[in-house]
Amino acid sequence: MTYAQPLIGIAFVWAGFVCAISFMEAWLKFRAPGVTLPVGLSIGRLIFSALNKVEWGFALASVFLLIYGGSYHSLSPVFLLVPVLLLLQTIWLLPAMSKRAELIISGAKVSRSSLHVYYIGAELLKLVLLVMFGVELFRS
C-alpha cells in the first residue's frame, strides 16, 4: 500500500506554511502601525520557533508514511534535501538569528549579518523542493 496521497497533502500544506510565514508574515508585520523593530523581532522569534516545530512534524510524518507505506526504497533525493535544510535551520540559522534578535531587543548595536539572506535562500530552496516532491508524488 502506498501513502502517496497523504504525502502529496503534506508536501503542499508544508509549502503553504513556508510561503505564508516566511514570505508574507515575516516582513509584513513590520508594516503594521505601532510595530517597532523590537516588537516585530519578538513576534518573529515566536512565530518562527512555532513554524520550525510544525515543519519537524511534517518531516517526521513524511518519513513515517514513506517507511510505513513501504515507499522508502524509492525515496526521492528531492525530499531528502528538505530535512537537511530544516536541520541546518534548526541547529544553526534560527539560534543565531534568535541571538541577534535578543541583542537588538535589548538595545545593543549589532553589525550587519548575512543570516537572513541564508535563511531566505534555504526557505526558497525548501519551497522549490517541496513543490517538486509533491509533483513527483502526484505523477507517480
At residue 25 the predicted structure's pLDDT band, cuts being 50, 70 and 90, is: very high
- Mean of the pLDDT values across residues 77-81? 87
The whole model's pTM is what?
Answer: 0.92
Q: Give the whole-angstrom CA distance, residue 138 versus residue 7.
A: 9
Residues 70-88, mean pLDDT to the nearest whole number? 81
* Residue-level pLDDT at 1: 46
Q: What is the model's pLDDT at position 69?
A: 76
Which cell is 100 given?
Answer: 541577534
State the average pLDDT over residues 4-27.
Answer: 94
Sequence-distant (6+) residues with CB within 8 A of 27 are none
